[in-house]
Amino acid sequence: MRCPSCGHEDSKVVDSRNAGDGIRRRRQCLSCSSRFTTYERTQATNMLVIKKDGRREEFSREKMASGLRKACAKRPVSQEAIEQLVDDIEAQLHQLGKGEVATTIIGDMVMDRLRQLDGVAYIRFASVYRAFADIEELKQEADAYERLKLLRNSKSQLPLFSNEELNVIAHGVADRGKQPGESAE
């Protein structure tokens, strides 16, 4: 394994651990003593990506990760979260069991996951992926994101009080200024 700092080809393994679908190894260069991390994963069958213009190219995990890193730049998204997202999407793609997958499917998977992870990263990725023609299209996407976020929050949160309990609470608040024994009217 070539050292990323000095380029020397000899290194020793300092630590090995399971990392989900592979092995994470901490290595130390025998020349400059720099430490670096490598990951070993099984090579899945090569999948082809069908581009919008019909061309086919081999699926590149690194290309997807690079796009995600750019979208998540200067956002509170860890490298581990990006790697996990890449792992999950790659696993989803392999579960489809197809030898060829359209870029639109991959792009939609990435957007769905980014939408849940970080709104700004989602809009950044969408602006490149969807190639918005003008600011109005970008604004429409941002508005759609906000509406979806509101819907998701309203569906996932149960009301704290029933309507009857809210009425009691509302009347109780209105009666606070009254003396004990006085009626609300």
* pLDDT classification of 105: cutoffs 50, 70, 90: very high
The percent of residues in the chain predicted with pLDDT above 90, rounded, is: 44
State the Cα–Cα distance between residues 121 and 114, nearest whole angstrom.
7
Question: What tens digit of pLDDT does each residue of 70-99 get?
Answer: 999 999 999 999 999 999 999 899 888 888
Quick check: helix, strand or coil at residue 12?
strand
Residue 57, strand partner residues: 49
Mean pLDDT for 153-160 is 61
Residue 159 has pLDDT above 70, yes or no: no
Among candidate residues 77, 57, 56, the one with its CA nearest the CA of residue 68? 77
**Secondary structure of 47-95 in HEC code, one letter for each residue:** CEEECCCCCEEECCHHHHHHHHHHHCCCCCCCHHHHHHHHHHHHHHHHH
Higher pLDDT, 175 or 116: 116
State the Cα–Cα distance between residues 53 and 65, nearest whole angstrom.
22
State the Cα–Cα distance between residues 131 and 58, nearest whole angstrom.
23
Mean pLDDT for 108-133 is 88
Average pLDDT, the chain: 83
State the Cα–Cα distance between residues 21 and 95, nearest whole angstrom.
14
Tokens of 154: 């309203």
**Which pLDDT does position 155 carry in this prediction?**
56
Residue 68 has pLDDT above 80, yes or no: yes
